Amino acid sequence: MPSKKTAPEEPEEPEEEEPIVPKGKLEYADLEDIPGIGPATLAKLKEIGYSTIESLATASVHELVKAGMSDKVASRIISQARQGVDVEFLSGLEMLEKRKMVRRTTTSSKSLDDLLGGGIETMSITEFYGEYGTGKSQICHQLSVNVQLPIEKGGIDGSCLYIDTENSFRPERITTMATHLGLDPESVLKRVVVAEAYNSDHQMLILERADEVIKAQGVKLLIIDSLISHFRSEYLGRDTLVTRQQKLNKHLHRLERLCMAFNLSAVVTNQVMSRPDEFFGLGAYPVGGHILGHRSHSRIFIRKAAGGHGNRVARLVVSVDRPEGEAMFKIGEIGVSDAEET
């Protein structure tokens, strides 16, 4: 009896091999230099705000998956990007050595600089909060000029990215402050890149796509004036609070990553709320809840000083490495300076 022929078994499809990521730091100039990033993937990455090696190296797989990539592809290109930047385990002694890379920008007030440990430092988020008219935006204008000063004069010779959410940026003010410091106003204005944010989503989009501008323009100071304004006006009531805080948290994480990746300073201004039932305290408290409180490395409360003369009191409320304290300074026609005697 002839044997029954059986159909030959189809060969099993080989499983996709895990990509081999070379050991040690590799040199990639642009995203397209990373193996496996073709035109389609590059377009996807730029669409969601990843335009540099540094930003991709600090991304999470979850963020890239949302753009339509598989877990495996996202993991591979992030791993490759991290070979092009310094992402490593460090001892405490090595961290101390790394902290020597931190630079500081003067505020133009010695007393305020002393309070902050020498000025506004890079690799951190500094928050100024206070009531309307206390000078938060004036400080931002002054810093956008001062960051352009050479190191020996208290600057770090960098440009400024100014994200304006309240239509508070005034180039005329920059001109006055630059002239007082002996700088060419036109040259200074050219190094202040302004982006107007029209709502909270637009504000987040600007920051998500800021890495390319930061790299191209040599930005060393990123200002958001004010951080919370759009979030506060768009998310009203307790039922929207969770959504607002989640978006704010993502926004702040992005800001912190940019600080670390590009060794730049981030300065944000914040609004306040009052507590009428409290008899003792500062009288005004920052908006944003614990999310903003945990992400700000330094929080400075600004209020007007008694006696006028444009004097202000800066109170360092929270700092990672500085004691609480107060300093007097002045905001006048020439900008920020040391306080006058009252």
pLDDT in tens, 70-115: 888 888 888 888 877 655 678 989 888 888 899 999 999 999 999 9
Report the CATH number at residue 265: 3.40.50.300
User: How many CA atoms lie less than 13 Å away from 171 in the CB half-sphere?
Assistant: 10
Closest C-alpha among 78, 58, 54, 144 to residue 107: 144
CA distance 147 to 265: 9
Omega before residue 233 within 30° of 0, cis: no
Same domain, 122 and 228: yes
pLDDT at residue 66 tops 50: yes
Closest C-alpha among 193, 285, 196, 288 to residue 235: 288
Type of residue numbered 163 = I
Same domain, 211 and 304: yes
Is 12 within a domain? no
CB atoms within 10 A of CB 24: 5
**pLDDT tens, position by position, 233-271:** 899 888 888 888 889 999 999 999 999 989 999 999 998
* Average of per-residue pLDDT across 134-163: 97
* Average of per-residue pLDDT across 113-121: 96
Residue 289 has a pLDDT of 81
- Answer for the pair 172, 179: CB distance below 8 angstroms, yes or no: no
Same domain, 66 and 110: no
Instruction: Identify the H or E element spanning 112.
Output: helix 110-115
Handedness of CA 39, 31, 81, 248 (dihedral sign): negative
Q: Rounded to the nearest 5°, which phi and psi values hold at 26?
A: -110, 155
Same domain, 312 and 165: yes
CA distance 260 to 283: 34
Residue 40 has a pLDDT of 83
Select from 82, 115, 142 the last residue of a domain: 82
- Which DSSP letter does residue 326 get? E
Same domain, 120 and 205: yes
* Average of per-residue pLDDT across 147-164: 97
Residue 160 DSSP SS3: strand
Residue 332 DSSP SS3: strand
CB atoms within 10 A of CB 337: 19
Is 89 within a domain? no
Same domain, 188 and 75: no
The number of domains in the chain is 2
* Average of per-residue pLDDT across 290-303: 88
- pLDDT category at 281 given cuts 50, 70, 90 is low
Residues 6 or more apart whose Cβ sits within 8 Å of residue 238: none
Residue 173 has a pLDDT of 97
- pLDDT category at 282 given cuts 50, 70, 90 is low
Report the CATH number at residue 64: 1.10.150.20
- Answer for the pair 81, 211: CB distance below 8 angstroms, yes or no: no
> With pLDDT > 70 as the criterion, what percentage of the chain qualifies?
87
Instruction: Identify the H or E element spanning 122.
Output: none
Query: Across-strand partners of 266?
Result: 125, 222
Same domain, 128 and 269: yes
Same domain, 167 and 216: yes
Question: What is the strand order of the sheet 265-270 is part of?
Answer: 192-196, 159-164, 219-225, 265-270, 124-130, 298-304, 311-319, 325-332, 335-338
Q: Where are the strands (E) in 187-290, listed by range? A: 192-196, 219-225, 265-270, 272-273, 285-286
Same domain, 117 and 223: yes
* Average of per-residue pLDDT across 155-161: 97
CB atoms within 10 A of CB 322: 14
Terminal Cα-to-Cα distance of the chain (whole angstroms)? 118
| Mean pLDDT across the chain | 86
Closest C-alpha among 55, 46, 59, 101 to residue 258: 55
CA 261 vs. chain centroid, Å, equals: 10
Is 8 within a domain? no
Same domain, 39 and 177: no
Same domain, 204 and 329: yes
Same domain, 42 and 161: no
pLDDT at residue 178 tops 70: yes
Residue 48 has a pLDDT of 77
pLDDT at residue 24 tops 80: no
Q: What's the domain range around 253?
A: 97-338
- pLDDT category at 190 given cuts 50, 70, 90 is very high
